[in-house]
Amino acid sequence: MNSPQDSSTRILLFLKAPVEGTVKTRLAASIGEEKATEIYRTLGASQLLRLPKGIPLEIHYSPREQEAEMRQWLGTELSYYPQCEGNLGDRIEHAVSEAFRRGAGTVFCIGADCPSLLPHHLDQAASILLSGQGDVCIGPCPDGGYYLIGFRKQPPGPFFKGIRWSSQHTMADTLRNARTHELGIHCLETMNDVDTREDLADAVKQGFLPPSCLPPESLTTPQSIQQ
């Protein structure tokens, strides 16, 4: 892909402060809040290591009073921005708009829930948008959501209006809005988020997370971890 200096690509990583009872709540229902929070910490820290080198990264966190906790977790050298109030669509829309206002040419929004998201996926997505193959690039999840959304230009707003978040309709609603605004769409390969115990076990089996992420009763023969 083009260099970040040429493309002005930005990666916006959306995270919550790793506070028990507020993160990975679906997973916590089956493995407990403490273990789920530990896994969330692992997901966030490891996602930083799986990003393309040289592309500017912004951490968009909530709640806004937890900046010190975020810096303690992920380090002090990163750029931190508090998320605005509102639903997820409001927060993404505001963050994307501000990134473009600061001079970004291509903007990608991701979370830390997809451990199989690797540097070459973001390189591919950036190449797609930079070459004009689409205005919007989306990475689908099997449950109807998505692990990545990228924009080649500031999307017309409100782009995320009417999206049913955290449901099987999230991806379909987003695609509907893109078509309504006559934006070209390119979909990446489908990959799993870690939302359930089964997702967690699968991520460990494939080597995307260490065996220590599994609850003790789920431990089996350790798998080799991908570097």
- Percentage of the chain modeled with pLDDT above 90: 87
How far apart CA 149 and CA 114 sit, in angstroms, is 13
Strand partners, 146: 140
Pairing of strands 146-151, 106-110: antiparallel
Is 226's pLDDT higher than 70?
A: no
Is 221's pLDDT higher than 90?
A: no
Q: What is the pLDDT of residue 8?
A: 86
pLDDT digits (tens, 9 = 90+) for 52-91: 988 899 999 999 999 999 999 999 999 999 999 999 999 9
Q: What is the pLDDT of residue 20?
A: 95
pLDDT-derived band at 143, boundaries 50, 70, 90: very high
The domain limits of the chain are 4-218
Domain 4-218 maps to which CATH number in 3.30.450.60, 3.30.565.10, 3.20.20.370, 3.90.550.10?
3.90.550.10
